[in-house]
Amino acid sequence: MKRSQIPKEMNKIVYWMSLLVLTISNFFIAVVLIPFLLALSPLQLYLIVMLLGGIMGMIFNHLIKDIEHIEIRHHLFAAFFIPLIGVIDLFIVVNLANRIAKVLLITVQTDALSVSLVFVASFLFPYVVTAGKK
C-alpha cells in the first residue's frame, strides 16, 4: 500500500467506526429516555429530546466534518442513516414507554412520531448550520 493511501484507508475506518458508535449511542439515548417519557410533561420532554438531539448532532457533525478524504456521498449517507436510526429507536422506545405507562396505570401517552421528529430536527441542526463549511 502506498504511503498516500494509508490516510484514506484510515479515514474510511474512522468513518465506519463513527457511524457504528453513533448508532449505538442513539440506541442508548432512546433507552435512557424511558423514565423521562413516563414522568415529564410534554414541554419538559421535548426540551430534553431537543437537548439530547442537539448534543448528538454536534458530536456527529464534529466527527463527520473532521474526517478528511471522504466523499460527499459518505456525508449524505451519514446524514441520512444516523437520523433514520434515531427515528426508529425513538419510535420503538416511545411506543414501549406508552405500553409501560398503561401497565403502570400512568396517564401519560406520548406521540412517538413527534418525539422522533423533534430529535431528528435537533440532531440535524448543527450539520445543516455548518453545511459547506470546513
Backbone angles phi, psi at 112, to 5 degrees: -65, -40
List, for residues 25-44, the tens digit of each pLDDT value: 888 888 888 898 888 888 99
Give the integer Cα–Cα distance in Å for 84 and 51.
18
Please check whether residue 118 is in contact with residue 50, taking contact to mean a CB–CB distance below 8 angstroms. yes
Average pLDDT of span 107-131: 87
For residue 87, what pLDDT is reported? 86
Give the predicted TM-score (pTM) of the model: 0.79
Residue 48 pLDDT > 90: yes
Q: Say what the pLDDT of residue 25 is.
A: 87
Would you tell me how many other CB atoms lie within 10 Å of the CB of residue 52? 21
Query: Among residues 63, 90, 89, which one has the least CA distance to residue 75?
Result: 63
